[in-house]
């Protein structure tokens, strides 16, 4: 830029002392401007790097939370008293798609099985 200022000043017929002063001022101004721009770019780079690091940590935390076994207590019984209050009391997570089943399932009670000893052959 100092060269361009020097050429323009010499073409316009300015004194050499004035031309040198203009060139010196231009050098100082552009040097300071360059320092400012360089500092701005470094700050921008650091901000982007910190943001990416923060996002990476958040993603790792989410992945860690998803890998943990989550125990749910679900009431599989359905009756006429099923309401929003009963669902909340049973700790059923309806946001994740856990729903009450349509039928009630009760396992076979082995203690109540009667063996018929009188067999007719």
Query: Is 0.75 topped by the overall pTM?
Result: no
Cα 93 to Cα 87: distance, rounded to the nearest angstrom: 9
Helix (H, G, I), strand (E, B) or coil at 102: coil
Rg of the chain over Cα atoms, rounded to whole angstroms, equals 41
The tens digit of pLDDT for each residue in 89-113 reads 554 555 555 555 555 666 666 666 5
The separation between CA 119 and the C-alpha centre of its own chain, rounded to angstroms, equals 71
Sequence-separated (6 or more) residues with CB below 8 Å from residue 72: 91, 92, 93, 98
6-15, 17-26, 50-59, 67-76, range with the lowest pLDDT: 67-76
The span from the CA of 39 to the CA of 41, in Å, is 5
Residue scoring higher pLDDT (84 or 28): 28
Token pair 């100082």 is found at 28
């Amino acid at each position: 830029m100092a060269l361009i200022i020097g050429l323009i000043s010499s073409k316009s017929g300015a004194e050499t002392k004035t031309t040198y002063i203009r060139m010196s001022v231009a050098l100082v101004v552009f040097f300071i401007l360059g320092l400012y721009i360089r500092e701005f770019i470094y700050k921008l780079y650091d901000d982007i790097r910190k943001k990416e690091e923060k996002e990476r940590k958040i993603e790792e935390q989410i992945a860690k939370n998803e890998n943990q076994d989550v125990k749910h207590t679900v009431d599989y019984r359905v009756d006429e008293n099923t309401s929003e209050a009963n669902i909340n009391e049973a700790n059923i997570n309806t946001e994740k798609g856990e729903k009450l089943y349509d039928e009630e399932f009760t396992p076979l009670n082995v203690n109540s099985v009667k063996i018929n000893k009188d067999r007719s052959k």
